[in-house]
Amino acid sequence: MDLSGVLFFPVTPFEPGGVDVDALTTHLEHGLGFGPGGVFVACGTGEFPALALREHADAVRTAVGVTGGRVPVVAGAGGPLPHAVDCARQAADLGADGLLVMPPYLAAGPQQGLCAYVDELLRASPLPVILYQRGTARFSPESAAELARNPKVVGLKDGTGDLDLLHRVTLAVRDAVGDDFQFFNGLPTAEFSMPAYRGLGITLYSSAAFAFVPEVATAFHAALTDGDSDTVTRLLNTFYRPLVELRDRVPGYAVSLVKAGVRLRGQDIGSVRPPLADPDDEDRKRLEQLIEQGLAAVDG
């Protein structure tokens, strides 16, 4: 599974009783028009922890159908082990191209247990797997290297921001399996930390901003790839830095602001589910201003 370019992490629109498939279709089609390198459905930005198994199936089925093979579709699978196994199996049945192994959340075990958790998902599905280290899932260099020796484990997405640990992990994995293994920056608002991650040779990242300002996200990616430091700095200062400051005001805003941004851009995708909460009026107005600033920075 070869991934490149901006990685699209769509939100999950809800309606009473489940996923709003029509709204998700519109959201995906709009994003695909900006040429992402992959679609990661029912993952963190897609509120994976809030999805029932049937809702996970609706989201994955819709993403596979809308993309039509144009780009890889990677589905989230995680949380309680039986649920993670069910998600992994149904993602394969529905035609997804890969799995993002979400953290087991509250349960925190030793490295042996974390590796066993991944092994269960590898046995449950034929799909290639990307590990996601964040929260209760932090892989030691030794564990990451051992898992990477399984040919079905093709990548690791880092959401810890611990560059010392990540550097040791990348060295260990590349020493074990070579340079084809894919590493991702998976921090919230990942663009803001990409200059640091590129110092470790990591060029892939998840872009939640792509879900609501694909114009800004694609311009930033192009500038970063081309070495256009002036544009990178301009977009960081006018859009990403103030977005990070707003995001850090309230727990859960890493997702809530994205969904609010999609609504502000004219797509009716509903609210976030508890325990997340939608931004209040003041923060929503500030987000609207940031969207205008970001679009103006791209234009100018």
Residue 205 a catalytic site member? no
How far apart are the C-alpha atoms of 222 and 199, rounded to whole Å?
A: 17
Q: What is the pLDDT of residue 88?
A: 98
pLDDT digit string, tens, across residues 204-248: 999 999 999 999 999 999 999 999 999 999 999 999 999 999 999
Q: Domain for residue 61, yes or no?
A: yes
Question: Does residue 247 form part of some domain?
Answer: no
What are the E-state strand segments in 72-224?
73-77, 98-101, 129-133, 153-158, 182-185, 204-207
Q: Quick one: how far is CA 244 from the chain centroid? A: 16
Q: Is the pLDDT at 2 greater than 90, yes or no?
A: no
Catalytic residue among 105, 117, 152, 157: 157
Question: CA 110, CA 18: separation in Å to the nearest integer?
Answer: 35
Residue 83 lies in a domain: yes
Residue 41 has pLDDT above 80, yes or no: yes
* Other C-beta atoms lying within 10 Å of the C-beta of residue 47: 21
**Statement: residue 166 has pLDDT above 80:** yes
Tell me the C-alpha distance between 58 and 266, whole Å: 23
- 77 - beta bridge partners? 101
| Average pLDDT score over the chain | 96
60 occurs within a structural domain: yes
pLDDT of residue 293: 97
What's the whole-model pTM score?
Answer: 0.95
Number of folded domains in the chain? 1
Residue 146, SS3 per DSSP: helix
Q: Which residue type does 75 have?
A: A
- CATH number of the domain enclosing 127: 3.20.20.70
Residue 92 pLDDT more than 90?
Answer: yes
Measured between alpha carbons, how far is 48 from 76 in angstroms, rounded to an integer? 7
Q: Tell me whether residue 273 is in a domain.
A: no
Task: Kindly report, residue by residue over 252-269, the tens digit of the pLDDT.
Answer: 999 999 999 999 999 999
Residue pair 212/10 in contact by the 8 Å Cβ criterion: no
The single-letter DSSP state of residue 226 is: H
Say if 245 falls within a structural domain.
Answer: no
Cis bond before residue 110 (omega within 30° of 0): no
Confidence bin at 69 (pLDDT 50/70/90): very high
Confidence of residue 299 (pLDDT cuts 50, 70, 90): confident
Residue 107 pLDDT > 90: no
Q: Is the pLDDT of residue 289 over 80?
A: yes
CA proximity to 83, closest of 61, 110, 103: 103
Beta-carbon contacts of 244 under 8 Å, excluding residues fewer than 6 positions away, are 189, 192
What's the pLDDT band for 113 if we cut at 50, 70, 90? very high
Among residues 220, 215, 286, 295, the alpha carbon closest in space to that of 256 is found at: 286
In a domain, residue 58? The reply is: yes
What's the whole-number mean pLDDT along residues 36-64?
Answer: 97
157 catalytic? Reply is yes
**Three-class SS state of 45:** coil
Expressed as residue numbers, the domain containing 87 is 7-213
| pLDDT of amino acid 156 | 98
* Residue in 132, 197, 205, 253 annotated catalytic: 132
Does the residue 288 lie in any domain?
Answer: no
